[in-house]
Structure 1
């Protein structure tokens, strides 16, 4: 603010000095032409005042005119589309480069079709399906290894089927109970967390429900909410411990 204030002082002082200088020159000229002292002095003040008045008028109108022109110019620049700033020659070069890139990547207009896009989608679906199937296979192998000493062959097969039902998001009405021996509730909790961590297809209350139905006899006195809160108790204790990754099975 102070800087601008001094700028105004400098401008108006300069104008005043110029007007006084012009008035003095005019007064001297009149005196040389034979005018009396009074007339020369009146001319001095009139010319000085007129100069200051003209500067004030010009400043007022010129400021508004310049501001209006600048606003119109800036608005036109803002509304100007990016394309209009690019020459026709540059546009041709850009279009040529885009076409070359699309051709190299196999996405030119001639090659891009509904069949190609659908094939890409199908490949992606198959890749996701294969990854999910790999996790299911690993989870079943893990379950068979962990429960081999504590369940019959038929129960091991049923446990594998239950895992598939959980992983695929199938209705739990198709789950059948599995009997196990010599395993504590803590072991079953750890197993449930490991299965949830392998797929992460649902919230933990769903895998708690899965455990409750799969090991119906062993967990008959435990509520689903209670199962959920004990998944990672004593992680490295028990016959079945917490595992962060089943990919090696």
Structure 2
């Protein structure tokens, strides 16, 4: 900073000396030509001041002009140089590679996310199916133990198939009747309520329909609405009792 300050002093001092020197020369010339002392002195100050003023004006405009031309020249040279073009191309290529990398990363994350969601959904669905199948197995085992002394073997198997139809919500057209001996209507009602309460896949009127179709001969004289209203009568009476959870059987 100090060096630049002294440079300015040296430049302007040199200009002042030159202007003074020119003014002195002009004054001497005027005196030789016969001008009086006052006129020569006035010319000296005017020429010196004019010289300083012209230098200030020229330095002001010329500095801006030279700086502008120099910047434009350097910029044009930089843009036109092979090194500059190479650098710009490298920057463009790097930027493009980064954008492509981000796109690949985003696609990969979306793909992995979709795959993970699909796997989780499949696992949950599989777990639900397994749980449902396990409950159906429990219900069939319960039915076999309760009815093994009162129905034939083929009817016992058909009873298991009917339970699957009920639990899966399949159309009751596929239900086939089961012949039963030695059990009362109350026993069949209790069995129907236990199956309905264990699965809870429908309203009790569907459970009543299930009983009516499965034990068609034993309940031929009973209406479905009557079956529905008596499902839980006398809970601890009969051979088949009311159970809150078949898994405890």
- Give the shorter-chain TM-score range: 0.5 to 0.7
Structure richer in helix, relative to its length: 2
TM-score by length of 2: 0.55
Aligned-pair CA distance for 1:240: 0.3
Deviation track 1:183-215 (CA, whole Å, cap 9, x = no partner) reads 000000000000001100000000100000000
Q: Secondary structure of 1:113's match?
A: helix
Aligned-pair CA distance for 1:112: 4.6
TM-score by length of 1: 0.55
Kindly report which structure 2 residues correspond to 1:156-171, keeping only aligned pairs within 5 A, or say none: 156-171=156-171
Paired position in structure 2 for 1:66: none
Aligned-pair CA distance for 1:248: 3.6
Q: How far apart, in 2, do the equivalents of 1:196 and 1:139 lie?
A: 10
Aligned-pair CA distance for 1:220: 0.2
Deviation track 1:226-249 (CA, whole Å, cap 9, x = no partner) reads 000001100000000000111145
Paired position in structure 2 for 1:4: none
Q: How far apart, in 2, do the equivalents of 1:248 and 1:234 lie?
A: 20
Residue 242 in 1 paired to residue 234 in 2? no
Paired position in structure 1 for 2:144: 144
Paired position in structure 1 for 2:105: none
- The answer to whether the 8 Å contact 1:155/1:178 transfers is yes
Equivalent pairs counted in the alignment come to 142
Paired position in structure 1 for 2:113: 113
Q: How far apart, in 2, do the equivalents of 1:129 and 1:122 lie?
A: 10
Kindly report which structure 2 residues correspond to 1:215-234, keeping only aligned pairs within 5 A, or say none: 215-234=215-234
Aligned-pair CA distance for 1:113: 1.6
Paired position in structure 2 for 1:132: 132
Q: How far apart, in 1, do the equivalents of 2:135 and 2:145 lie?
A: 15
Paired position in structure 2 for 1:174: 174
Paired position in structure 1 for 2:184: 184
Paired position in structure 1 for 2:212: 212
1:143/1:113 CA distance change after superposition, 3 Å: same
Q: Secondary structure of 2:246's match?
A: coil
- The answer to whether the 8 Å contact 1:138/1:248 transfers is no
Unmatched 5+ residue regions in structure 2?
1-108
C-alpha root-mean-square deviation of aligned residues, in Å? 1.5
- The answer to whether the 8 Å contact 1:187/1:238 transfers is yes
